[in-house]
């Protein structure tokens, strides 16, 4: 699997208990955008390779 074809699951985490609130599957090219948005808003996220 080439990195540009890799898929990742990005989960938004609850600020209080850290549980996943929701998740989305994105390709590697989109991960940076989600990370930057989370950093700007102070949102907690967890990123892991998506199961295929």
What tens digit of pLDDT does each residue of 2-50 get? 555 899 999 999 999 999 999 999 999 999 999 999 999 999 999 999 9
Tell me, what's the pLDDT at 5?
A: 80
Tell me, what's the pLDDT at 16?
A: 94
Give dist(CA 14, CA 6) in Å, integer: 26
Tell me, what's the pLDDT at 51?
A: 84
Number of domains, the chain: 1
Q: In Å, what is the CA distance from 25 to each residue of 9, 16, 17, 31, 34?
A: 4, 24, 22, 10, 11
Which ranges of 1-52 would DSSP assign to H, the alpha helix? 28-41
Is this prediction's pTM over 0.85?
no
Tell me, what's the pLDDT at 17?
A: 96
């Amino acid at each position: 699997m080439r990195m540009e074809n890799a898929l990742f699951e990005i989960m938004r985490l609850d600020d209080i208990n850290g549980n996943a609130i929701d998740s989305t599957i994105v390709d590697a090219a989109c991960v940076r955008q989600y990370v930057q948005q989370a950093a700007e808003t102070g949102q907690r996220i967890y990123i892991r390779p998506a199961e295929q």
